[in-house]
Amino acid sequence: MKVRKATAADLDTVLRLIENGRKKMKASGNLHQWTDGHPGRECIENDIRRGNSYLLLPETDDPAPVATFAFILGKEPTYAHIEQGDWLNTEPYGVVHRVASADGTRGVVAEITRFCARHTDNIRIDTHADNLPMQKALSRLGYILCGVIHLDDGAPRLAYQLITSMTEREKQAAGLPYLACDPEVLADLKPCEEECFQLNRLSPLLTEERTKRLRRLLGKTGSNFKIIAPFFCDYGYNIEVGEDFFANTNMVILDEAKVTFGDNVYIAPNCSFYTAGHPLNVVQRNADIGYALPIRIGNNVWIGGNVVVLPGVTIGDNTTIGAGSVVTHDIPGNVVAAGNPCRVIREIKP
């Protein structure tokens, strides 16, 4: 589709598309958005006068516009405060408002996104909680549900953002929310799963071959380390282990972000290290949004059996984590810590 700015001569066309959009919302069960005649003639006139109103036209001989939207570069006052989350960044952005289309028109949000991406690296948009078609379209295109904003009249809206200059894999690496089902994100999972499968079926007597394969799988290893089978990880190359590292049987590392172990680290059986997490917001979670935060384990750390370490945790040097602990936050060095959630029990004096 082609995009052009709307002019004063297009006012009636824009209003007809807006009215059609209002009818489509009601037909889909969205009864609370665009009520009381909003957006109306005065609003659209202001959009056109300020150069913020646009029309989408098909690549056909028929020049009739099939969709309209407003695109505004600059700060949106109602976006200054956001609840139940946060914007992905504080960089300059453009805002999309007042999207409406003719019956039978598909791919409108994708076309709008492509157009806006030529003018900004950050696109923000809000929609009503009942506007399920819009929410699905945004999620398919990689928009992240950031939280809830409130309009001038106090009405809540779901707030989305898309960083157009970053791939989903780059967002994952940067610790930003990302689309977990993105093909690039998934690409390296299967090869790692296959390598773990092959590792775990090796004879215990083939220690040299196992060590070679682990060196290839992991991002960095010391000259001396040992990991007892079975062992499972997601990517492998995000894991770094120091000198004299030992992990007992059934260690699981979800290394969507970096997992770093220092020197002289001992891991007891059935321990898990999860960098990957999912939003508490059910809409975000069902849209397959994930996040990944690095885990750092210091030098001379002993982790007891059945310990779970959650995303973003750092454990300091010379610390012991008691068996069965769930480590939800940072643990300092030179302590014994245990429990669910894990907390410091006592200090360890040198």
DSSP string of 147-159, one letter each residue: EEEE-TTS-EEEE
Give, to the nearest 10 degrees, the angle between helix 11-27 and helix 41-49: 130
Q: Is 329 considered catalytic here?
A: no
Contact, 112 vs 95, CB < 8 A?
no
SS3 category, 56: strand
Distance in Å from the first CA to the final CA of the chain: 70
Active-site entry in 38, 97, 150, 278: 278
The pair of three-digit structure tokens given for residue 101, joined into one six-digit string: 């289309």
Dihedral sign (CA 76, 80, 81, 83): positive
CA–CA separation, 242 vs 298, rounded Å? 10
Dihedral sign (CA 176, 177, 181, 183): negative
- Known catalytic residues are 278
